[in-house]
Amino acid sequence: MKSGFVAVVGKPNTGKSTLINALAGRKVSIVSEKPQTTRFKLRGILNRPEAQIIFVDTPGFHQARDALGTFLNSQVAGTLKEVDLVLFLVDGSREITDEDRNLAAEIKKSGLPCLLAVTKKDL
């Protein structure tokens, strides 16, 4: 069986945890409207007969203003060193920001293949 690791990244509250829970078919991550709810990498596993995909839920990437923010961003950066693919979520109900651009630059710097998914477009 083939397997691979996918980092699910984006700003806070882009739907990363909600997506991982849906893909894993169970509650893996806490979902909240409060930013920075996810503080450590969490894994949700999708099993199929032909493959196993391990999705890694990451804290929201943001402009760090304190030690906690720096730590959370380091969790994202560290995850990019451990995965095979990046799924970059962007909130379609909001404008693209410098935080989105900064995260895109980090992903590009990693050299990993990346898929872009627009979330909340229906809002």
The mean pLDDT value for 27-45 works out to: 68
Q: Measuring CA to CA, how many Å separate 16 from each of 1, 22, 65, 89, 114?
A: 26, 10, 22, 7, 15
Q: Say what percent of the chain tops pLDDT 90.
A: 42
56 pLDDT above the threshold of 60: yes
Determine the pLDDT at residue 54. Answer: 92
Integer Cα distance of 103 and 39 in angstroms: 17
| pLDDT band for position 77 (cuts 50, 70, 90) | confident
Q: Where are the alpha helices (H) located in the chain, listed in sequence order? A: 16-24, 67-79, 98-110
Positive or negative, the CA dihedral 10, 72, 55, 109 is positive
Asked if residue 33 lies in contact with residue 80, where contact means CB atoms within 8 angstroms, the answer is no
Q: Which domains does the chain have, with CATH numbers?
A: 2-119 (3.40.50.300)
Q: Say what percent of the chain tops pLDDT 70.
A: 88
The mean pLDDT value for 98-115 works out to: 94
The mean pLDDT value for 63-85 works out to: 83
